[in-house]
């Protein structure tokens, strides 16, 4: 066996050992810790890491941050990994859910019958979606027959839309004017001036 093939074999073995360590590590590992565990020099570990980096072209990547290394999933596979873990980002809200959420946000506390009247359709499914996603919650009960539930937005609603408080919501009148004008193919007017 030549000296060169012996070095290649040792480098391959070192890269393999480093890969195994990084695979079982529960947190990022420093080059010094890798050198101590593999009984190699820092320079040899760096060479092994370069070899490992070139070899990892599939679903696993070598990530380095602040002098520490870890194996991570490839960015291209984030959707599949999130679905597997059950942490996938929920689908965007439907138009019905957004309409319902707007009614709750601007008229809270509001009952389901008031939401249905404003939308002119049954809002049960949209409201259930918003409850499951924790964007709205039951905030009380109305006095009277049946004691219907009243709904309001949650703290998560503010986080979701990047608001610090409900006072950060745009003025309703301006929004309605823009929506109505858009539906008619016109430009909304603000203070006698057209806006686009």
Indicate whether 190 and 156 sit together in one domain. no
Indicate whether 189 and 144 sit together in one domain. no
Indicate whether 160 and 187 sit together in one domain. no
pLDDT in tens, 50-74: 999 888 888 888 887 657 788 888 7
Indicate whether 18 and 72 sit together in one domain. yes
Residue 84 lies in a domain: no
Look at residues 186, 79, 128, 23 and name the one whose alpha carbon lies nearest to residue 115: 128
Residue 178 lies in a domain: yes
Q: Is the pLDDT of residue 186 over 90?
A: no
pLDDT in tens, 74-106: 778 878 887 888 876 667 889 999 999 999 999
pLDDT at 116: 94
pLDDT at 65: 66
pLDDT at 177: 54
pLDDT at 105: 94
Indicate whether 158 and 119 sit together in one domain. yes
Check if the beta carbon of residue 29 is closer than 8 Å to that of residue 68.
Answer: yes
Indicate whether 128 and 174 sit together in one domain. no
Distance between first and last Cα of the chain? 77
pLDDT at 176: 53
Residue 83 lies in a domain: no
Residue 190 lies in a domain: yes
Average pLDDT over residues 168-173: 79
Q: What is the pTM (predicted TM-score) of this model?
A: 0.47
Please give the angle made by the CA atoms of 95, 99 and 100, to the nearest 5 degrees. 115
Domain range holding 191? 169-196
The verdict on whether omega for the bond into residue 99 sits within 30 degrees of 0, i.e. cis, is no
Q: Is the pLDDT of residue 192 over 50?
A: no
pLDDT in tens, 2-57: 677 777 888 889 999 999 999 999 988 999 999 999 999 999 999 999 999 888 88
Number of domains in the chain: 3
Burial class, 153, CB count within 10 angstroms (exposed 0-12 / middle 13-18 / buried 19+):
buried
pLDDT at 1: 60
Q: Which CATH number belongs to the domain containing residue 115 in this structure?
A: 1.10.10.10
Indicate whether 54 and 119 sit together in one domain. no
- Provide the 3-class DSSP secondary structure of residue 5: helix
pLDDT in tens, 106-159: 999 999 999 999 999 999 999 999 999 999 999 999 998 889 999 999 877 876
């Amino acid at each position: 066996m030549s000296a060169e093939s012996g070095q290649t074999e040792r480098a391959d073995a070192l890269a393999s050992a480093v890969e195994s360590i990084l695979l079982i590590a529960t947190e990022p590992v420093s080059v010094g810790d890798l050198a101590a565990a593999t009984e190699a020099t820092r320079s040899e570990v760096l060479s092994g890491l370069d070899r490992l980096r070139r070899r990892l072209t599939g679903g696993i990547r070598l990530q380095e941050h602040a002098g520490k290394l870890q194996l991570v999933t490839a960015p291209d596979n984030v959707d599949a990994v999130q679905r597997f873990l059950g942490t996938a980002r929920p689908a965007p809200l439907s138009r019905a859910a957004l309409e319902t959420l707007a009614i709750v946000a601007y008229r809270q506390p509001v009952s389901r019958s008031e939401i249905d009247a404003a939308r002119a359709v049954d809002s049960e499914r949209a409201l259930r979606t918003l409850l499951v996603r924790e964007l709205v919650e039951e905030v009380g009960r109305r006095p009277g027959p049946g004691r219907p539930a009243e709904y309001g937005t949650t703290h998560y609603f503010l986080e979701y839309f990047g608001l610090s408080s409900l006072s950060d919501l745009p003025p309703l009148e301006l929004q309605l004017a823009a929506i109505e004008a858009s539906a008619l193919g016109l430009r909304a007017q603000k203070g006698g001036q057209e806006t686009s």
